[in-house]
Structure 1
Amino acid sequence: MKKSLLMGASSIILALPCASVAQEAAVQRPAVQAQQVGGDIVVTAQRDRSLLSKTPLAISAVTGDALRNSGITGPSALSDVVPNVSLDHTNGIQVTIRGVTSNDQTEKGDPSAAFMVDGVYIARTQEADVSFYDVDRVEVLRGPQGTLYGRNTTAGVVNVLTNKPELNRFKATVDGSYGNYDAASLQAAVNLPVSSTTAVRIAGIYDRHDNYYKLAPGDTTLVNSAQRENVGARIQVLFKPTSNFNLLLRGAFANIKGTQSALNQGGLALSNFYTNLPSGNSPNEALPVWSNPNPETALVRANRLPTNPGIAGHGNRYGENNTSLALEGEANWDLGAVTLTDITSYHQFSRNETNVLDLAPGFAVPYSNNSRFHQFSQELRVSTNGTGPFHVQAGAYYFREKQDVNVSLFGLLGPAGSNAYVFSFPQSPVINRTWGLFTQGTYKPIPQLRLTAGVRYTNDYKYRYGYSAVLPAINAPLSQSLGYVNDAQISAERVTWRAAIDGDIPSGLLFASVASGYKAGGFGDGCSTGAPGQSNLTSRGEKCVYGQAFQPGAILPQLQSIYYQPETLIAYEAGYKGKFAGGAVRLNVDAFYYDYKNMQLTGQVMLNGAPSQVTTNAGRSHIKGVEVETILQPDRHNRLNIGLDILDASYVQYCAHTLNPGQPTASCDANWAGRRLDRSPATSLRAAYTYSTPIGASRVEATVGTRLVSKSYVTAYTTYPVQYVTPSHTQTYVTVTYHSPDDRWYLQGYGKNLENFIAVNGVDTNGFVTAINEPRTYGVRAGFKF
């Protein structure tokens, strides 16, 4: 009923026609691009336009030109310029902000940081890589954003804003690059003024590079040469019939191809990762260390073509061939006293992936994933206008994702030494639905002081039905399987809030806030209505336990832990943003403290021959730190950026492994209290120096930047967690750019990760390394404007 009301309201408003703005900005005009005022950037982080230096949040914003000049062509490189943020290629893009992240990127998992494109939340982060083109700016909000942005923003928000159509102006850009690993990229965009009230912008991208991994010695198996081969296109149509109304329609398509960058036991010697392993593999002591092998000689390609092309239609397909489709509409209607806003979005994502998992020497298992995801979201908002002491915004938000998941492992070694042929994981439907109501207001008792308060009510629902089955043959009936039914659902509601104060002082802005964040709870694999050996019926009328009988007690611990709690966070923050010496010196300082409860950690165990995903809550964590950024620009030739991040993120209560779970004799066998959270180095120092000099009417700009990062961890939460340690290291980049007169074209040489340092970015639930960062890359880039 609530869904019908929201959709009906939206239809009526659009039919007026209605106001609408993207989720990222209440009053943003689509024709407005990344404006700069006195070297300052205009941002829309609070759903209204404000100068970056006057926005009382821990926020970083980088324009498209600045991204290009720093050699940033994808989301993962944002960590070079944004404090306490990492975007890692794992199974999609895993966003970590100030140590808060989520390692569950399955169909039932939610991120802890929201990745958005033009203010639209992207549920499947595999799409994120094909959104980073024709970029106007990127805004990164650190800290919980539960009031204006809703759940799944416990860590913060990454919002990619693309260039919008402009009226009465023809423009075109072309950017291309070529580098080592046969890396080639081409981006193009054209702005077409159709009439005085209509404009169209069309943009596209082609991006590919060879594999970063080499064949293992003696391995002659064919491999796909392209690790990445992505194609994307976006078309936007702007209608602005009057000065107070505009409507922006957007469509986007992407094809995401290439090999999966996985490193498994059969392909990479574990001696490259483990040092000083104690006997017995004690969970408290086994800390594998990444030894930074040279990717040109030591790394291998572990993904192989299926050895039997007749299996389940595998043929000669390899890697991923995924597609995404997006249809969106956003508008804005200024009624004088208020502005009405709305955004409607539909996304469809298809996963078509085949692989061979080298689980152990001589044991390679073909794998396929053929899944479909349908996402619909809508937001209705109203915001007051004017220059009075009050500014209020309020709205309603609705999101629903339906999934049909089909994953299979062929030739799998079954339980008790049997040779089961296939592990099948069909899940349909998987439903993830949320709706919320929110409001936030700011009051100015005097022009120099602002008081802000906001609140949001969120209602969540999740449901999944399917099977985890080990079958003796392809298409064998479930009655012949070992395994279990996955049948679980949750309903929950939560109120998040924010209170803040900020004020102008002679040298800048002071601000302080306290805010709460929330990520919904959920469930792991298993049936919530059954028990070992019982025949309880599921919501579909089937038995929770089917096929052969379970081994006694095999599923008991997991049945007791199917459901896990929501994670919550209360953040206390204070900051300062200032300018000195006529703007030649800029200083930003943020200090924060998080009380983080029930952090969700996902791992895998074997249940009766079938892999089972288990998510637990890490009782409590504390995160505190300081971020300092300064920009020194004494003249137009020299610019120095320096950033220092100090982060103390550790568990207060977390039992990583329990002996005899669910029994009276249960005890904690691996207490991780005091250990650092994943992806949270204690210290990070960033520095970048840019020198610009004119050459006649043209100019040359050279930038060298480096990032010194202290030790950090990545963990696989298996039965006994496996933790990878990345030691302290530096990563340096350099760009040299020639800009033609009037900036009509440029030519750039670049080098990234000059040290060729390799870090573990991702591990799967078996403890295998699945992703590393980019090795040393270099090349040339050129662009033209028309």
Structure 2
Amino acid sequence: MQKFRRISALTTSVAIIAYASPLWAQDNGAIGLADIVVTAQKRATNIQDTPIAMRAFDSDAVLNAGISDVNGLSRLAPDLNITNDTQYTKISVRGISSQDHGETADPALTINIDGEYINRPIALNASFFDLERIEVLRGPQGTLYGRNATAGALNIVVAKPKLGEFSGYATGSYGNYKALSAEAAVNIPLGDKVAIRASGMHNEHDGYFNNTPAGRGSAGNTDAARLSIYAEPTEGVRAYLAGEYVNVDTTGVAQYGMVIANNGVLTNPAYAGGLIDAIPSTPQLENGGVPANLQFNPPRKSFPLGDLGYTRIKQYAVRGRLDIDVGSIGTLSYIGGYRDVQSNVSQPLNGYVPTVFIQNYEKNSQTQSHEIRLSGGENGGVIYQVGAFYFHENQYMAQGLFLPLAAGGSYLNYFYRPYVKNKSMAGFAQATVPLVADKLSVTGGIRYTKDKKNALFINYGPRFGRGSTPPPEDASLGFNPTPLNDGQLTWTAGIDYTPSRDHLIYGKVATGYKAGGFDNVSSFGAEKLTAYEIGTKNSFANRTIQFNAAAFYYDYKDQQIPIFLDTSVGAEVVNAGASRIWGIETDTTILLSRNDRFTATVNYLNAELTKFSANLLGLTGTLTDSDPSTPGLQPFNLSGNKPVQSPTWTIALGYDHDFHFGDQKVTASLFSRFKSDYYLQPSNDLATRQKAFTQTDFTLEWVAPNDRFSVQGFVRNIENYRPFAFAGYVNAGGSLLINYVYGSPRTYGIRGTVRF
């Protein structure tokens, strides 16, 4: 708590500096920063009046940044740390993420599309198109958003049909790597009470890496379409229904890999560095399973691959909302959605001779979520929400590690899951009570969640000389992991003080919870988080300056961390005893003049695994520690390490200038992001450390009168730096390997947009 007091003092100091800064735009006339309306609290509020550390971006910002999926969000929200592990997307906020993509794993950041709850990591790659805005909420949101919101929430709000209006837009771009994108939408009124909206997008590009002889890897090819209808059939009733389709059909993710050791012998002694112990042929490796002092300089642009593989994902979704005003009581709302995800992946793993594939990889899921909520009190009284939530998911998974040798090849392993079922139910209530009208209020909320998970696991060992045909279904090899049946209470308590229209000071304590589960080895428990946060949101100089700051301290227990064992077993998820995370975040926006805008984000994060001692299961059953009562277990200790994707410093600076030529305008924009070094594995070994880097974007946009036409030239990642998007180890048959996946290179092109 002493450190938390230091954070509070630092926040106060920064706020004082902001008050003392020159008022850059005192005499600029009637200009000011526009209000942004968000629904982070599941009701409409001004972002500057919302006591949550958050960002929000409208459709123009998303289009200008060229964002077509969740991976591009880091261009707008640099404090989102996003990495790719093959077809999976992992997001970290304030040092909290989910690194496990097993069948019973859950994300740490709640994803919602118009209130539809998205649970599968593979479903996070759904394309972003025809949006109204994106909201990024930092910090646990356990009361209103429920389980798996320990890191925060990502709200994707799509554009809705508008009554009585015929309108639309079309935009397209072309750039290097033969990148071609197109997006369009049309809004059609059907009388005075009904409107429909149709939209679609296509996005493709050649591979970002030269992987001769296979070709170019990490290409892109995505199509998506959405049809929605909105109606107000009678006064006080509003209905919305949308159907969506997304299709991804492209190459696999290009991975660079290398063999570190074969059967306990280093393949290249120069890699040894400070390695002391010989690497054995079993999974028991020193320092928790990895050689901590090995480090490499892998190629980031060009490396050979024997095969590119493929990634094919189809998603079908239906979601809707019904709002009914019930007089003075408030509004009764239903929000629901259904999603079907079908995926088929062949992913080559370089570093093996010959190449080994993750083959016949199917991971299909059907999910549905339903929420019913009663809310009211928007007219200066008690603001309340009370409701219930239900979520159900059923998965099917099959995959094997395939070695293409004689007789058509052999499977080294094969994992088959006929079903994995996940059910969650919750009830919640939250209220904000004014103590002094328009000045002081308190908020309290509570939620109880009940989670159930069960599955059938079938694991096959090596199937030599049988070709690429998957092993036959054999339930006799199956086992049912111990079902999960757990419940958790989460709550929040806060106080908000508004000394004037342009200033907000808030403090709160909130809890978060991420459900437990099971894997091939054992069960693992739920994560639990208690977060303390203070913040302030301010506007100065006739609203030409905005300065927001937040300081937080997290007491994080039982963090779920996957540790890879062996290809015949996969990963075991263990619960770290405790983590301590604290930091401070600032956001500044200044209208320097009518034509000049400056933005700055400065975030400091101090994250540490304070208690993480466990036993790594040894597959040989031999004694690997000093205690003869625990044969087959190897103790390891990662206490003092940093969580993955946790850079100490994140800094982003942006500058926009408008040039006017009569009634036409040209805007030049420069935006640069800096991240200090961070790790991609909890072992914090040098080989999975990403060094500090910067990435800078520049755009030049011409806008015609009335904003009907615009043409933009852009270049993204001017430095052409490709950071690690993933780095991890594989232990197969006595060989230790490391694989790397990289971020995108420099891209540039031209975009044209027409609105009507």
The match for 1:664 among 616, 621, 629 is: 629
The structure 1 residue matched to 2:195, chosen from 184, 191, 199, is 199
Distance in 2, matches of 1:730 and 1:616, equals 34
Aligned to 1:302: 305
In the aligned structure 2, how far is the partner of 1:410 from the partner of 1:686? 43
Give 3-state SS (helix, strand or coil) of 1:214's partner. Answer: strand
Q: How does 1:572-611 map to 2 (within 5 A)?
A: 572-606=532-566, 610-611=568-569
**Structure 2 residue aligned with 1:431, among 416, 421, 433?**
421
Aligned residue runs from structure 1 range 454-465, under 5 A? 454-465=445-456
**Structure 1 residue 726 corresponds to structure 2 residue 720:** no
In structure 1, the residue matched to 2:101 is 105
Give the Cα–Cα distance (whole angstroms) in 1 for the partners of residues 655 and 33 of structure 2: 20
For residues 502 and 746 of structure 1, the distance between their equivalents in structure 2, rounded to whole angstroms, comes to 42
Question: How do residues 200-239 of structure 1 correspond to structure 2 at under 5 angstroms?
Answer: 200-216=196-212, 220-221=213-214, 223=215, 227-239=219-231
Measured in 1, the distance between the counterparts of 2:658 and 2:109 equals 36
Instruction: Provide, for residues 534-568 of structure 1, a one-character-per-residue CA deviation record: whole Å limited to 9, x for no partner.
Output: xxxxxxxxxxxxxxxxxxxxxxxx4xxx0111000
Counterpart of 1:239, as a letter, is: A
Choose the corresponding residue for 1:679, options 632, 638, 645.
645
Q: State the Cα distance separating 1:188 from its structure 2 match.
A: 0.6
Partners of 2:164 and 2:368 lie apart in 1 by 33
- Secondary structure class of the residue paired with 2:195: strand
Alignment CA distance shift 1:164-1:49 (3 Å): same
Return the letter of the residue paired with 2:599: N
* 2:318 aligned to which of 324, 327, 332: 327
TM-score (norm 1): 0.82
Determine which of 572, 576, 581 is the counterpart of 1:623: 581
TM-fit CA distance, 1:68: 2.8
Task: Tell me by how many angstroms 1:426 deviates.
Answer: 1.3
CA distance in 2: counterparts of 1:756 and 1:128, whole angstroms = 26
2:275 aligned residue = 278
Say whether the 8 Å CA contact 1:761–1:772 is kept in structure 2.
yes
- Show the counterpart of 1:387: 379
Q: Structure 1 residue aligned with 2:671, among 705, 713, 716?
A: 705
> What is aligned with 1:444?
434
Q: 1:355 to 1:46 in 2, by over 3 A?
A: same
| Match of residue 490, structure 1, among 484, 490, 500 | 484
Please name the residue that 2:7 is paired with: none
Change (3 A) 1:756 1:292: farther
Unaligned residue ranges in structure 1 (runs of 5+): 1-35, 306-317, 526-557
CA deviation profile, 1:666-707 (whole Å, cap 9, x unmatched): 887542222211101111111000001211111011111111
Aligned to 2:403: 411
Matched, 1:749 2:707: no
| TM-score under structure 2 length normalisation | 0.85
**1:641–1:772 distance in 2 versus 1, CA, 3 Å:** same
Pair 1:453 & 2:423 matched: no
Distance 2:69 2:654 in 1: 19
In 2, Cα distance between the equivalents of 1:79 and 1:107?
27
* Counterpart position of 1:532: none
Q: Give the C-alpha shift of residue 136 in structure 1.
A: 1.1
Deviation at 1:88, TM superposition (A): 2.6
Contact 1:229–1:256 under 8 Å retained in 2: yes
Aligned residue among 82, 85, 89 for 2:84: 89
Are the equivalent residues in 1 in contact too, given 2:111–2:118 (CA < 8 A)?
yes
Partner AA of 1:321 in structure 2: R
**Separation of aligned partners in 2, 1:389 and 1:152:** 31
Greater CA drift, 667-676 or 768-777: 667-676
Structure 1 residue 130 corresponds to structure 2 residue 126: yes
Matches within 5 A, 1:153-168: 153-168=149-164
Give the residue type in structure 1 aligned to 2:348.
Answer: V
CA distance in 1, matches of 2:247, 2:259: 28
Long gaps (5+) in structure 2: 1-30, 262-266, 280-285, 617-623, 731-736
More deviation in 185-194 or 285-294?
A: 285-294
In 2, Cα distance between equivalents of 1:110 and 1:215: 33
- Residues 533-548 of structure 1 mapped to structure 2, 5 A cutoff: none
Partner deviation per Cα, 1:225-276 (whole Å, 9 max, x = no partner): 77110000011111111231111011000111111214142699999x9784
Q: Give the Cα–Cα distance (whole angstroms) in 1 for the partners of residues 221 and 474 of structure 2.
A: 41
Deviates more, 1:665-674 or 1:456-465: 665-674
Aligned counterpart for 2:41 among listed residues 37, 46, 52: 46
When structure 1 is superposed on structure 2, of 468-477 and 373-382 the one drifting more is: 468-477
- Write out aligned runs for 1:460-539 (5 A): 460-470=451-461, 471-472=463-464, 473=466, 474=469, 485=479, 487-506=481-500, 507-525=502-520
CA distance in 1, matches of 2:80, 2:240: 31
The question of whether the paired residues in 2 share the 8 Å contact of 1:716 and 1:765 is answered with no
Helix, strand or coil: the match of 2:210? coil
Instruction: For residues 606-663 of structure 1, give each alpha carbon's deviation from its aligned partner in whole angstroms, at most 9, with x where no partner exists.
Output: 2xx7233310011100000000111110322000001100000111011376554996
Amino acid at match of 1:106: G
* TM alignment of 1:550-589, pairs within 5 A: 558=521, 562-589=522-549
* Equivalent residue letter for 1:215: N
Q: Percent identity?
A: 31
The 1-side partners of 2:299 and 2:111 are apart by 32
- 2:93 and 2:471 map into 1 onto residues whose CA distance is 45
Work out whether residues 32 and 591 of structure 2, in 8 Å CA contact, stay in contact via their aligned partners in 1: no
Superposed displacement of residue 485, structure 1: 3.4
Secondary structure of residue in 1 paired with 2:72 = helix
Q: Which letter maps to 1:616?
A: V
Deviations 1:373-398 (A, max 9, x none): 11011001101244242111100000
Pick the aligned partner of 1:255 from 247, 259, 262.
247
Counterpart amino acid of 1:748? Q
Q: Which deviations, in whole Å up to 9, do the C-alpha atoms of 1:717-766 show, x marking residues without a partner?
A: 7xx97851111111111111111111101111111111111211123562
Amino acid at match of 1:704: L
3-state SS of 1:65 partner: helix
Equivalent residue pairs, number: 687
Q: Which amino acid aligns with 1:457?
A: Y
* AA aligned opposite 2:144: L
Aligned to 1:633: 591
Alpha-carbon deviation of 1:116? Answer: 1.8
Q: Which residue of 2 aligns with 1:773?
A: 743
- Aligned-partner residue type, residue 524 of structure 1: D
Distance 1:619 1:638 in 2: 49
2:201–2:225: 8 Å Cα contact kept in structure 1? yes
